[in-house]
Amino acid sequence: MLLGYAAKLPCKDDPKYRCHPTKSNLFVRCTGGKLYQFFCPIELNFNTVTQTCDWPKKADCSWLVGNNVEGNETATPKNSDAAGVRKIDKDGAVNGVDGDGNDDGDDDGGDRRNNYYYYYRRNKEGRGKSTTKNWSTGTESKTTTKRPWWKPKQRPQATRFPPIPTNQEKKIARSRPAYRNGPQERVKPIWKGSCESSDCYLPHCHCPGAKIPGGLSVQETPMMVMITFDDEISAAYYGYFQRLFRPGRYNPNGCPFRGAMYVSGEGTNYDLVYPLYAMGNEIACHTVSHRFPHTWWANASYEEYMSEIQGMKNNLIEKSGISAEDIKGFRVPFLQLGGDNMYRAVYDADLVYDTSMFTGPVWEGGEDPIWPFTLDFVPDQKFCQHGPCPQRQYPGLWEIPVQRWYGVDGHSCAMPDGCTSTASTEEALQFLRKNFYSYYNSNRAPLGIFVHARWFHVEHHLEALDAFIDELMQLDDVWIVTPSQVLEWMKKPTSIYEIQFFKPWSCEGAMKEASRRK
């Protein structure tokens, strides 16, 4: 919700989230010229270093706003100055700098510029002359114009979807423009199944198949696991997410593991979406209506898909405060593809990937699983088994396939919650283990545990997945990551011997506890 004093506060868009001036479990962000306030789940405070909610002892907002942390003699850590920690007092002063710009102690100019409350108090007299400091030279000058402290960011402007070229154009574009929605000549026709590694190579293009990217061996490849949920985010399901993604669960590099939510508009409480996002989870689109019957999605027009996909993206931005550039993925309801009408809408909504295409052998023990691929080429029926499938190219758009799972009876299903029911926690745990090790012991393609939160209405399903996560945390070559993080690895395949330094999976300031895996 908007802060009560947002209308009075000069607010410029900023990609980072800041501590609330008085409450450590609240934090703020400026989006679209408006200042929004959000809250962390119960018992958690916000950490500006990792940009997530965490335990109070690890969250810098706990001491920045002057709240005591249990177990500490003082609210401010002894090494706070060395660490560059910003202190905000009840009058809005930052590191001893009061509202009139008077420095009462040592401070860093960048910290003062980056604080909303200082900026407001410093300029509260209106558009009169104010002092502008050149932070590189230390000089000050008078100006009648209020200058923003943020660095302007140029974003590409989407264009209309390119028309279908003629069949006379036979060669594939080898060069790649900076942005997906580029010149019309980018999209060129190609026949199914004709993707060749010589024409399609990382980081921007990848052919569908079971081969490990980057020439890595199985032993060198990190095993990636994605845990995602479809449909609404409501109070009925929120507790499940809090339990599974609770603080204290880490990947081998010491960073909290994360999941993804494909959110539909029907039944969603938008106030609950942002706390999950603040914990580091990925938020993606699952359409506004999620309407029935499932056959509607097979026949929906391009305009109807745009209304559903772009409309849901707008809702997440406007109602939950999710950053537009962080909404990257889409999954269609019922996994019912809509052919080129659907994929064109995903492409035009400026999303990075789709994860709706169903594939995998019908019987257990068949071919190795498929790695994510791009739609620079039209996939054949082996990779798109439940149409209508796309018949056109969508350069740079990634597909994270939904691959068959196999139940305790050996029958296949699209998602774990669609397989034959298990009778107990132990049986459900064996079901998860069996499918995991079929990936882990083959080509280590990313495993997707794609479920609906209502699966946890049967209590032993939740208990089994919770216990399974604990087992995965004991394996140093297994990483629980979001779909977007999987794609970052795809663009730059990195071996397990170097993955500790893989920036897209890093978390600044996170400390790995030496005994957490003992």
Question: Which residue did the predictor score with more confidence, 63 or 202?
Answer: 202
Residue 270: pLDDT above 70? yes
Place of tokens 């000069």: 10
Helix (H) or strand (E) holding 121: helix 116-122
pLDDT tens digits along 298-323? 999 999 999 999 999 999 999 999 99
CA distance 430 to 412: 16
Q: How far apart are CA 84 and CA 66, in angstroms?
A: 16
CA distance 77 to 457: 43
| Confidence (pLDDT) at 42 | 64
| CB burial of residue 463 (10 Å; 0-12, 13-18, 19+) | middle
Contact 108, 84 (CB under 8 A): yes
3-class SS at 475?
coil
Rounded to 5°, the CA angle 223-224-230 comes to 150
Q: What is the CA radius of gyration of the chain?
A: 25
Nearest-angstrom CA–CA distance, 482 and 480:
7
Q: Calculate the CA 309 to chain-centre distance.
A: 17
Least Cα distance to 407 among 417, 394, 399 occurs for 417
d(CA 178, CA 164): 21
Digit-coded pLDDT (tens) for 314-352: 999 999 999 999 999 999 999 999 999 999 999 999 999
Among 150-154, 257-261, 454-458, which stretch is predicted with the lowest mean pLDDT?
Answer: 150-154
The mean per-residue pLDDT over the stretch 454-466 comes to 95
pTM above 0.75, yes or no: no
The pLDDT of residue 109: 37
Residue 10 has pLDDT above 70, yes or no: no
How much is the pLDDT for 9?
58
Domains of the chain are: 7-64 (2.170.140.10), 218-513 (3.20.20.370)
Quote the pLDDT of residue 44: 75
Average pLDDT over residues 489-499: 96
The confidence band for 365, taking pLDDT boundaries of 50, 70 and 90, is confident
pLDDT at 509: 32
Of 52-56, 372-376, 386-390, the least confident: 52-56
Please state the φ and ψ torsions of residue 339, each to the nearest 5 degrees: 65, -150
Q: How far is CA 439 from the centre of its chain?
A: 23
pLDDT score of 43: 66
Q: Which two tokens stand for residue 360?
A: 């995998």
| Distance in angstroms (rounded) separating the CA atoms of residues 245 and 278 | 12
503, 483 contact by CB (below 8 A) = no
| Predicted confidence (pLDDT) at residue 137 exceeds the cutoff of 70 | no
Would strands 447-452 and 282-285 be described as parallel, antiparallel, or unpaired? unpaired
Say if CB 476 and CB 497 are below 8 A apart: no
pLDDT tens digits, 400-426: 999 999 998 888 999 999 998 899 999
Q: 401: closest CA among 299, 483, 313?
A: 483
The string of DSSP letters for 223-279 reads: EEEEEEEES---HHHHHHHHHHT-TT-B-TTSPBP--EEEE-STT--GGGHHHHHHT
* Residue type at 313 in one-letter notation: K
> 398: buried, middle or exposed (CB in 10 Å: 19+, 13-18, 0-12)?
buried
Condensed to tens digits (0 to 9), the pLDDT of residues 437-451 reads: 999 999 999 999 999
Q: How far is CA 179 from CA 168, 204, 279, 318, in A?
A: 25, 11, 29, 24
Task: Report which of residues 181 and 430 the model is more confident about.
Answer: 430
- pLDDT higher than 80, residue 266: yes
The band of 356, judged by pLDDT with boundaries at 50, 70 and 90, is very high
Query: What is the reported pLDDT for 420?
Result: 84
Confidence class for position 272, pLDDT limits 50, 70, 90: very high
Residue 358: count other Cβ atoms within 10 Å of its Cβ.
19
Residue with tokens 């399901």: 237
Percent of the chain with pLDDT strictly greater than 70: 70
Which residue do the tokens 């946890």 mark?
456
pLDDT value of position 508: 57
Report residue 115 as tokens. Answer: 């604080």
Q: Which of 349, 346, 312, 338 is nearest to 231 (CA)?
A: 312
Of residues 72 and 190, more confidently modeled: 190
Residue 264 confidence class, pLDDT cut points 50, 70, 90 = very high
